[in-house]
Structure 1
Amino acid sequence: MAATYYCADSENGDHIDDPSEDALFDLISELANADNTFIVVQPDQDDPAWFASVAVCDEGGYEIVLRDSTRREHKVTIDTDISGIANDLIVWLAGRNFPGRPAQHTSTF
């Protein structure tokens, strides 16, 4: 069964459909400098319009990349707080567009 919204894949082959914040925390916690250095979260489709990745930095900590071509968004940060990274990812992922879900609208008053 394909993911409803997105999936997370790690370098070592772990795959989770529609991961929760706790699942992302676990995937990030399992990253190491040897054979499991990154995870990618993106829609389970060909040529996705957005993705998020978390990679181990050589100097310690994690590099987080958030890229959404439909919104011209590209953000790269470094952080060491796994819990904060997982939370920030969930919040960012909640703002993405998904097929079958009405587009989000913002208005200014």
Structure 2
Amino acid sequence: METYEAYAEGGEHVPNPGHADLVRLVDALNHTGNTFFVVQPDDDDVPWGISVAASRGGFGGYDLGWHDTRTDDRREATAADPTTIATEILDWISQLHLQAARYH
């Protein structure tokens, strides 16, 4: 199974983040020195990634972006709940792993 890592603009690095790690990373986002984090494979070829950023909109919340260059899957969303965001990230990564297993 492919391993992945989270990197926060503020300098935090979390190998294979779990649900609690992702919730904590979302909760730590702000509009000054830690505005986003990314989750991506921990190899040199980065075929997919997820970004979470503190929203610049007037309603707060977070902007999410998913991309997978192998399938041209690109989507964006906004969300407010860190727990829901963490679940969505882990669900998407699980789907990637299931798809990869089917083709190998």
Q: Distance in 2 between matches of 1:92 and 1:56?
A: 20
RMSD: 1.9
Please list every run of 5 or more consecutive structure 2 residues that lacks an aligned counterpart in the other structure.
none
CA distance in 1, matches of 2:30, 2:76: 20
Aligned to 1:52: 50
Unpaired runs of at least 5, structure 1: none
- CA positional deviation for 1:102: 8.7
Greater C-alpha radius of gyration: 1
Q: Does 1:77 align with 2:77?
A: yes
1:28 to 2:48 alignment = no
Aligned to 1:103, what secondary structure does the other structure show?
A: helix
Give the TM-score taking structure 2 as reference length. Answer: 0.88
State, as a whole percentage, how many aligned pairs show the same letter: 32
Match of 1:104 in 2: 101
Alpha-carbon distance in 2 for matches of 1:78, 1:90: 16
C-alpha separation between the residues in 1 aligned to 2:43 and 2:81? 30
Task: Sort the Cα spacing of 1:102 and 1:78 in 2 relative to 1 into closer, same or farther, 3 A.
Answer: closer
Aligned pair in 2 of structure 1 residues 75, 102: CA closer, same or farther (>3 Å)? closer
Q: How many residues align?
A: 100
